[in-house]
Amino acid sequence: MFYDYQPQSRLLLGTAGYPSPAVLQQAVEASGSDIITVSLRREGEGGGAFRQLLTQLNKRVLPNTAGCHTVKDAVTTAHMAREVFNTRWIKLEVIGHADTLQPDPFALVEAARILCREDFQVFPYTTEDLILGEKLLEAGCEVLMPWGAPIGSGQGLRNIEGLRTMRNWFKHVPLIIDAGIGAPSQAAQAMEMGFDAILLNTAVAKARDPVAMATAFGQAVQAGLTAHEAGLMERRDMAAASTPLFGLAEFGS
């Protein structure tokens, strides 16, 4: 459950960078996603045509504050997005490092506190840092969105142990892997670890066939979720025969 909404799909899909609006629409439908992310900047580029496309898609919209580097910019963008998209949801990004696009932890918490106080339902883009996660929850967030790797890098889960620790520490908090996923296998791995959803954009939008890739990611996310719920076998240091020794035929010398 993400605030007041139970998603039908655990794949959240971005809407930037597709070769055409038609391909974007086909990819969203192929993914099975019922939540799409939209930046206010992206919406402005397409004007009424892009807004019409969003209406046709009939998906839950998660606007974001992409490109914001200060608390003031993020809060202002969030207010504009709430008016444009008529939603309390906001994916909060406050970038602190130009090369890695890592979030600024101090500005992120401050912006989250302001927006939660102003009745936004905040989805903060964060790292796997436990203290930062605690501060965001104290600020009023009910969902955390840790990165797998830097945005658009396709590196997958770069700090598996850190993410696993985060999942175990915040047992009852919805955790969405946001950024860095480049292959369906990486998405499945995150879901097998018990994360609640995956948000991605570049891996689908920039694929040779975005529609086929969206299909693959939708299937991978569902497969990982099913595997986690079914219960993965524990890893062993030694081999363990799958066929019991009892009952095997005995051959004379």
| Known binding residues | 152, 179-180, 201-202
Residues marked as binding for 1-deoxy-D-xylulose 5-phosphate? Answer: 152, 179-180, 201-202
Give pairs for 239-246: CB < 8 Å, separation 24+: none
What does the DSSP assignment read for 208-247? SSHHHHHHHHHHHHHHHHHHHHH-PPPP-SS---SS-STT
Q: CB-side exposure of 55: number of CA atoms within 13 Å?
A: 8
Catalytic residue among 59, 72, 91, 135: 91
The neighbour count for residue 119, using CB atoms within 10 Å, is 9
Q: Quote the CA–CA distance of 188 and 222 in Å, as a whole number.
A: 8
H/E segment holding residue 139: helix 130-139
Is residue 171 part of the annotated active site? The answer reads: no
Residue type, 234: E
Active site residues per annotation:
91
